[in-house]
């Protein structure tokens, strides 16, 4: 009983903290279901009097949201899948094979992990714009727009990702050496051993990495913004589409919040179902050797 009582202040404090943290979400959902009159009323409305579900239909008709969502799903999924495989393979090579300059190359990868993408934004844009023989470019990469405003341009920079290499390497280093011996005896090449022995045992780490990458790519704004700077809106992603509500003269808060609810629900669904993996991933990426 005494122990239970001792917990009361902590629990109250926690409830208060949770309430404060949840408040913006509460308002987001509530406003998405309110009428303009309710939003502009001088008093705070925590609940809509009558939920205006039609706000969602109206918001989705502001632009072509079906397309935006498909664009985001497509680029996010492909980038996540491809980079996952490449990262795991590279992590395996660093963990399990011996070759000259191994240490140097690994340090290089770690340095790459620390560099914020904002630093490389400009040259990355110039590079993607001037890839030779693409998007109307000649052999010297001039004349056209390269991969700017294309899906490939949107996805390419995500395909490397040092973080995943670092994480999978840490993971594979702990595997028993006998695994390689056994695979070798069975006549597997190193790549064969990776695909047939290591990959099937990587479920947990790949799940963590996949959740992190999916959420990261889905939420990305700066690179897609730059990629569509001069574009047609063909590859507009969900995050870009959200800001279009802001660019119009008057902001319809209820429609904007409805679109925000839709765009965040994908990520929240992934996070809430795979919370354990997400947390494991964040921790694995942050804790030093």
- Residues in region 130-149 near other proteins by CB under 8 A: none
The reply on whether position 8 binds other proteins by CB under 8 A is no
**In this chain, which of 62, 64, 170, 239 binds other proteins, going by CB under 8 A?**
239
Q: How far apart are the first and last CA of the chain?
A: 43
**In this chain, which of 55, 71, 90, 202 binds other proteins, going by CB under 8 A?**
90
List the structure tokens of 237. 């992603």
Q: How far apart are CA 173 and CA 98, in angstroms?
A: 13
The reply on whether position 267 binds other proteins by CB under 8 A is yes
The reply on whether position 106 binds other proteins by CB under 8 A is no
The reply on whether position 17 binds other proteins by CB under 8 A is yes
- Residue among 165, 159, 155, 158 nearest 109 (CA): 165
The reply on whether position 288 binds other proteins by CB under 8 A is yes
The reply on whether position 210 binds other proteins by CB under 8 A is no
Shorter beta-carbon distance to other proteins: residue 66 or 241: 241
The reply on whether position 271 binds other proteins by CB under 8 A is yes
Residue span binding other proteins (CB under 8 A) among the ranges 143-151, 171-179, 201-209, 250-258: 250-258
- Residue among 30, 22, 23, 17 nearest 253 (CA): 30
**In this chain, which of 60, 105, 179, 188 binds other proteins, going by CB under 8 A?**
105
**In this chain, which of 65, 125, 166, 172 binds other proteins, going by CB under 8 A?**
125
Q: Helices marked H in the chain — which ranges?
A: 2-6, 8-32, 36-40, 54-60, 65-96, 102-114, 117-129, 151-155, 162-173, 178-185, 190-193, 203-219, 222-227, 238-247, 253-273, 275-286
């Amino acid at each position: 009983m005494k122990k239970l009582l001792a917990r009361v202040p902590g629990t109250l404090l926690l409830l208060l903290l949770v309430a404060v943290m949840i408040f913006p979400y509460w308002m987001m959902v509530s406003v998405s279901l309110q009428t303009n009159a309710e939003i502009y009323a001088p008093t705070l409305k925590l609940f809509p009097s009558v939920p205006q579900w039609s706000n969602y239909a109206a918001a989705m008709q502001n632009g072509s949201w079906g397309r935006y969502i498909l664009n985001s799903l497509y680029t996010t999924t492909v980038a996540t899948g491809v980079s996952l495989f490449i990262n795991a393979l590279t992590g395996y090579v660093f963990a399990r094979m011996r070759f000259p300059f191994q240490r140097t190359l690994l340090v290089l990868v770690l340095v790459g992990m620390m560099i914020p993408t904002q630093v490389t934004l400009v040259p990355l844009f110039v590079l993607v714009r001037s890839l030779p023989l693409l998007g109307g470019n000649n052999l010297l990469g001039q004349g056209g727009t390269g991969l700017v405003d294309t899906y490939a341009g949107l996805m390419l920079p995500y395909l490397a990702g040092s973080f995943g290499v670092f994480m999978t390497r840490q993971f594979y280093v702990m595997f028993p050496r006998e695994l390689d011996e056994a695979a070798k005896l069975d006549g597997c090449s190193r790549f064969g051993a990776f695909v047939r022995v290591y990959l099937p045992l990587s479920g947990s780490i790949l799940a963590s990495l996949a959740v992190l990458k999916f959420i990261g790519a889905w939420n990305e704004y700066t690179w897609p913004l730059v990629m569509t700077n001069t574009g047609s809106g063909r590859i507009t992603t969900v995050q870009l589409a959200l800001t279009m509500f802001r660019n119009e003269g008057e902001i319809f808060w209820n429609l904007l919040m409805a679109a925000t609810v839709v765009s965040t629900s994908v990520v929240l669904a992934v996070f809430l179902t795979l919370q354990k993996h997400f947390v494991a991933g964040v921790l694995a990426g942050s804790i030093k050797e």
